[in-house]
Amino acid sequence: MTRQEMYAQCRLTRGAAATVGFIPTKAAVIGNLIELVINGNYQPGWRVESVGTPVAKDAMRMFERQYTSQRQGSDN
């Protein structure tokens, strides 16, 4: 069995802006500054404010698909 990369759901802030997303656990350290890619644009200076329980990449993708499906259903 191959070892999967682990991700953690984190709360990230940049000034007054905030977002939640999955990032690799090696970067998911409270206080770390990371760079996000949003709509193809690099945005440096996002601070990790909180870190959730690590999950395997496959589980993270499943959570993302469930959220997207729920969003599409509620937006229509």
**Model pLDDT, residue 51:** 98
46's CB contacts (< 8 A; 6+ apart) are 12, 13, 14, 19, 33, 34, 35, 36
- Helix or strand run (H / E) with residue 59: helix 57-75
Q: How confident is the model at residue 60 (pLDDT cuts 50, 70, 90)?
A: confident
Residue spans of beta strands (DSSP E) within 1-76: 6-14, 17-24, 33-38, 41-51, 55-56
Q: What value does the mean pLDDT of the chain take?
A: 88
Read off the pTM.
0.77
